[in-house]
A and B are shown apart, each in its own frame.
Chain A
Amino acid sequence: MSVTGKLPHKWLAYGGCALLFYILQTMVLSRFQIAGVYPMLLPVVIACVALFEGPEAGSLFGLAAGLFWCFSGGAKNGMYVFLFTVSGALAGLAGARVFARSFKSALLWSVITLLITEGMVFLFRLAVGQLELSALWTVLLPETAYSLIFSPAVYWLVHKIHGRG
């Protein structure tokens, strides 16, 4: 296989990309808080992959990522399975119909995906009284901003994988 040839296992590469950023998030960045929060990188990966691959592939990737996040201990219940799937579907639809597969689109949909996933968790916990509205600007928004720092790296890697797939 030549260096410039197609990647025969594109989805394995996407999975490796997700695993890489999962390890980065949980085993390296877990020691570095900014504004008292940690980043959440899987939604960024899902948004970028879905933007390039479309709604069906994006939603399946989101589903797989959600199951992995749930079973790896990242979430205490299955909510993220559905949220990641929906996020992948929406980002994929946006990429297929409206938005160009540019970094700006990836950045925008990373924000939207983060707000869908972590935002729903925030709203659920707010509804059951586990936290107060202030968590919106003390947790949710800083977490989104911190996560976006890594969006260029995610976008670049996903773009490369897509280009060779």
Chain B
Amino acid sequence: MKKIFSTRLRVILAASAVLAALIIIFSTVFSSTSVFSNAVGVILSPFRSAASAIANRFEDLYGYMYEFDGIKAENQLLKEQIAQMEQEVRDAESASEENTRLRELLNLREKRSDLQFEAATVVSWDTSNWGSCFTVSKGTRSGVEVGMCVITETGAVIGTVTEAGLNWATVTTILDDSVEIGAMVFRSGDIGVAQGKFDLMKDGLFRLSYLPADAQLRNGDTVLTTGAGEMFPGDLVLGYIKDVGMEDSGTTKYAIVEPAVSFSDLVQVFIVTSYEIDG
């Protein structure tokens, strides 16, 4: 009976298994980006930039044509909100102190002068349905390194740099199940770990785990980074609590958190290249 798998085919399959194992081992042992990934990323960079520019133009046109009424209504709502906020500013105590909430919206650099960051453009989103990450236009040539925190202009945490090539970097978002960040509920001071979970990722949510069983949490509570372990700067907004529950063990609580970031609207991000560590 003629062999189904020829010798040559078996060699190819065996070689692919070995290569796959080597890549898995390399990616597990080393956190740095391989020279092959770097090279592929550099080659793809102009394609990503071109495709992103073209897609943005089409999106703008689509938005203008089909979303005009919605944008107009949102604009009106925002104008009313701004007017209300301006009234709250005028009513605030201590005229000599700048309104910190408006600062968060308007000027990240003044609020967090301890942060140094590199602005980057989102050029492509990872289309794997099992994770949440995207590629940005800056890399090691701009001082970007693996492990750096990525935020928005308002100081909301997007995720972390997981790969860095010469002129590109991969950012894995806080929704991805590989990301864990030390977190704190601002109102109560309870400490936990912000973790991405696959089943929550599809809903655009993540989980705050290992909270004390007696933690007093409320929907809408702000969740911040703790800065513990010096992996992330502290006091950056992760999101807002949406739901609270008790773990099956009964010894800790968890919270479902809605990110402060709207991932679908991301065009420009800020990679924190250095920051001052308290203490």
A residues in contact (CB < 8 Å) with B: 23, 25-31, 36-40, 55-56, 59-60, 62-63, 66-68, 70-82, 84-86, 89, 93, 118, 121-122, 125, 130-132, 134-135, 138-139, 143
Tell me which residues across on chain B come within 8 A of A89, comparing CB atoms: 5, 9, 12-13
Give B50's nearest chain A residue, CB to CB: A27
A27 and B41 CA atoms in complex are apart in Å by 13
Is B51 among interface residues, defined by CB-CB distance under 8 A? yes
Tell me which residues across on chain B come within 8 A of A71, comparing CB atoms: 34, 36-37, 39-41
In whole Å, how far is B138's beta carbon from the nearest beta carbon of chain A? 15
Interface SS of chain B: helix
Q: Is there contact, CB below 8 Å, between B12 and A63?
A: yes
Is B87 among interface residues, defined by CB-CB distance under 8 A? no
Tell me which residues across on chain B come within 8 A of A75, comparing CB atoms: 128
Tell me which residues across on chain B come within 8 A of A131, comparing CB atoms: 130, 198-199
Is B131 among interface residues, defined by CB-CB distance under 8 A? yes
A147 and B19 CA atoms in complex are apart in Å by 27
CB<8 Å pairs between A and B, sample of 9: A23-B51, A36-B202, A59-B13, A77-B28, A81-B19, A81-B23, A125-B130, A131-B130, A139-B202
A106 and B163 CA atoms in complex are apart in Å by 35
Q: What does the 1/0 interface line of B18-46 toward A look like (CB < 8 Å)?
A: 01111110011000001011011100100
Is B47 among interface residues, defined by CB-CB distance under 8 A? yes
Interface residue from B16, B20, B48, B128 paired with A27 (Cβ < 8 Å)? B48
Tell me which residues across on chain A come within 8 A of B114, comparing CB atoms: none
Give B36's nearest chain A residue, CB to CB: A71
Tell me which residues across on chain B come within 8 A of A77, comparing CB atoms: 23-24, 27-28
A30 and B123 CA atoms in complex are apart in Å by 11
Q: Is there contact, CB below 8 Å, between A56 and B27?
A: no
Tell me which residues across on chain A come within 8 A of B170, comparing CB atoms: 73
Tell me which residues across on chain B come within 8 A of A121, comparing CB atoms: 130
Is B8 among interface residues, defined by CB-CB distance under 8 A? yes
**How big is the B interface, by class?**
35 or more
Q: Is there contact, CB below 8 Å, between B4 and A93?
A: yes
Please give me the 4 A-B residue pairs with the lowest Cβ-Cβ distance, nearest first.
A78-B23, A27-B51, A85-B16, A38-B127
Interface residue from B9, B27, B129 paired with A59 (Cβ < 8 Å)? B9
Give B39's nearest chain A residue, CB to CB: A71
A67 and B15 CA atoms in complex are apart in Å by 12
Task: Tell me the residues in window 252-268 of chain B with beta carbons closer than 8 Å to chain A beta carbons.
Answer: none
Tell me which residues across on chain A come within 8 A of B124, comparing CB atoms: 26-27, 30
Give B8's nearest chain A residue, CB to CB: A56
Tell me which residues across on chain A come within 8 A of B34, comparing CB atoms: 71
Known: A56-B6, A71-B36. 8 other contacts (CB 8 A): A23-B51, A38-B128, A66-B16, A77-B27, A77-B28, A78-B21, A85-B13, A89-B12
Is B100 among interface residues, defined by CB-CB distance under 8 A? no
Known contacts A25-B127, A27-B47, A130-B198; A85 and B12 CB within 8 A of each other? yes
Q: Is there contact, CB below 8 Å, between A39 and B40?
A: no
Q: Is there contact, CB below 8 Å, between B20 and A78?
A: yes
Q: Is there contact, CB below 8 Å, between A31 and B59?
A: yes
